[in-house]
Chain A
């Protein structure tokens, strides 16, 4: 028992270093966690946050340094050791089992069993899963298949799983990235409750909102080193940004005013059975049209229908006044429509390929004569975009999996730009992207609009929507509920339209 060591930290990491071939992922990082505190861990992508977490959970082992658990030295040789010591983690991309039920996802690894025969007790587990989900305010059926759930719902299950472990240390890696504001509020509430019960929480986020709402202390990592730890009440947003990026970023949302030009895209009564219905809007040159609404309200589905990924079964699409039937992405791109997908790793990039291969992927036929590749032409274009977008990599021949999230996103944007497409649909363009890259992407979008491009931006982040859009469409359950101009929109109005209170 640790009765004598009352003042020690629950968890203390000292001088942790971790090397990967050729890279120092962490260098003499120190980190500590008090009982019953919410400790935010921030830093740009690639700063080493994920590595640090993997070390705490035992997925990775440090090359140097020591870990103290309740004041005693401990070695987390594999994930089970951490689990036994009641350390649980909720990862950035929900690490779920898509083919299995919610109950199984919650209890995999620590099932409720009949003590003597070790038979799984399904009824007990289902009941417990139901109870846990209820405490989270979710009415998910524990028998549902995980793969059928939305990302936000999966996140809920992940949290329920952490609760079921009754963890003393809970690590949340960007838990709010996929959540809507209302869900985020719920998550804050749950986190505070946990704190009250004495659980220590490590909270990773890119959103300053999260940090200032719930965190007690904040540790900043930069380039694998810890910059420092502060009480949240003692550090301003500006100072925090400065600590993270090592420089000051003046403005996050630089959408410049440009004259709105001709109509380039008009959608009339678009519908797809089971997903959305009666969608109508129009888009003009130089305009950024924001699409707001809860996750699952059908925003992405509309975008993908316009891009030809999934067919629509009713309505019309007009490009520059001419009706065009769009049945494939190929056709959409022929019409000058481009789509930046929400999930850049799954939908946007072919990770094992190089930057140039990815940038030229959708326009391959242009760098070829009668099918034979002329690589030079492609390289030239890539090189140009590489410099233009300020992608951080040694060359255009780097593999995209080795890039940070923000730079990966820039490559996807580059692919879009290479296509010389004039109508761009961007689905969550800054999701999971660090502050620096986020501002860069916003700058690019603004420049594009200034050059007469027409943009649709789907985003779950209110400040982003409000800051960037010329006009805003709000969707709820597959239908457009309201359309706002830039001037009349505010956070409250958007939210009201998204949830439509009093339906």
Chain B
């Protein structure tokens, strides 16, 4: 009996496979490879990517490993090379480790683009930057400073210790904190929740206990800020410990409404996916060449420009991050 059920399930999967294959007739195939699947942020990215493909008449493949490992991404990219897709857009789990495989993709004539979390210029043609690293880093410090009146201890609760984006943001945070107006503030520690709900929560709770005078926490990662919001609420520290960072509105709605977090930031992942895929489509169509300074119309995103990136490569900037607070969270919490 059980066997029969299993066979039925198996054949269903094979059918799904056939279905996805039948979509090959279209002109270009663009693959979006994300850090991991099962993450609402990247689901929103995929929605944006699909919109762009619909606008341009291309086919989208959305893939990602179940856990955010670079090994899983390499395997997926190898498979994409083997089926000769036309463009691979990747949000990398590691800044360096995807370079060799993306070079192989480029050797095979595939367009290599990184977005969200970038890779080294050697392994990409272009990076779609959701927002300026410097701006995001500084913005979060400014926000927390306002909340705590420029005075007191703050801490950072990050994702994994090896996350590219988070580490750059944190560097810029430390840079911003050197400014004179923050002389009464002190960044006491950086802890890592590894983007695991339970670990992030425990780390936040640990912060409250080991730093009783803590005034604020910056958590530049979606899982971390959500867990910290819950931890602040549970510990009864709403108002005493302030929270800001980068979070998903859907997840943060509760903690913004109850005051645990006055404000936090994020760009629109739907737009990010749209822009990434759209740019890839334009490059494939030969509409743009990807030279620095080139200006182009990016569908519903309006006018964009190719600029030089901080790491020496080139990039397209999505725009400033969006600020979410009690006044606007209700409109967004159901969107992503």
Complex A–B touching at CB under 8 A? no
Using CB atoms and an 8 Å cutoff, list the residues of chain A in contact with chain B: none
